[in-house]
Amino acid sequence: MRWTPGGTSRNIEDRRGSSGGGFAGGGFPVGPGMGLGGIVVLVLALLFGGNVFDGGDEGTDPNAPTATRGGEVAIDESPEERERVQFVSFVLDDAQNFWTQALPQAGAPYRDAKLVLFRRRVNSACGSAEAAMGPFYCPIDEKVYIDLGFYDELQRRFGAPGDFAQAYVLAHEIGHHVQNVLGEAGRVREMQERRPDQANELSVRLELQADCLAGVWGRNAQQRQRLDPGDLEEGLAAAAAVGDDRIQSQATGQVRPESFTHGSSEQRTRWFMRGFQSGDPRSCNTFEGAV
């Protein structure tokens, strides 16, 4: 991906100034507790160890700074991690600048989400999350949370390398914010409460819509000549890597479609590609017909 290092976005909230580190796999928490991640998050916890959400903290505050220097938190980071912070800053600003222009056409003014960088564990308005949760969006505080170590796992464990694979992950979470701004997420939560027997299916549709919205942004980035040859393939590989079927098979050797909460690898790549080909958020209606 063609990007320009330029420091840290004003929408980044850096909480890495704490001990620990680790891996964080997608989700859309809807309040204190696990949220819509469901079975996928449980599988990730089995794969990588640790709890996903719990009700509170014990011991050291995972978000407390370890030291200060000139009034700022002193963060121990490698040059590679520093570059990664600049990269997610670029993608965050690029995606949100796009939605600021595009969303009013869908009938709603866009408001920026914050991106929280953390290590090991974090407190959010949706609860306290272990790094095993992966990147997730909390609709209550309108923040995306990510442990940057996830990107190493995305490459090594899931076999999805490349900077546009990383960009897809963040664009998917911003897609959840777009859903929240549009009121789509709230409608889905209400439907899940009325029809708990359809909770998983509705969760899949919500996740696939976020994949499609990520593809819409990807198309815009391509039109602005931000993509390199092979970037689209990197994004598709990342979408396939986090399909429910692939994650379940890796964790347990079995695939249970009735427990899917994010969609299969085929569904995730297909909806990402639909958004990428159309470049139109209106093409991302996953709530009508089959997915």
Domain boundaries, position 100: 12-284
The two tokens of residue 288 are 């009508």
Q: 216-226 burial, b if ≥16 CB within 10 A, otherwise e? A: bbbbbbeeeeb
Q: Is residue 103 part of a domain?
A: yes
Q: What Å distances lie between residue 140 and 3, 26, 135, 144, 178, CA to CA?
A: 31, 17, 16, 11, 13
Count: domains in the chain: 1
Q: Is residue 154 part of a domain?
A: yes
Q: Is residue 129 part of a domain?
A: yes
CB 267 within 8 A of CB 291: yes
pTM listed for this prediction: 0.83
- pLDDT string in tens for the chain (291-residue length): 999 888 899 999 999 985 433 333 333 333 322 222 333 343 443 333 333 344 344 333 444 443 333 334 567 788 889 999 999 999 999 999 999 999 998 778 999 999 999 998 999 999 988 887 789 999 999 999 999 999 998 998 888 989 999 999 999 999 999 999 999 999 999 999 999 999 999 999 999 999 999 999 999 999 999 999 999 999 999 999 999 999 999 888 999 999 999 999 999 999 999 999 999 999 999 999 888
Nearest C-alpha neighbor of 160 from the set 214, 239, 246:
239
Q: Is residue 4 part of a domain?
A: no
Q: Is residue 116 part of a domain?
A: yes
Q: Is residue 291 part of a domain?
A: no
Q: Is residue 289 part of a domain?
A: no
- Give tens-digit pLDDT for 180-230: 999 999 999 999 999 999 999 999 999 999 999 999 999 999 999 999 999
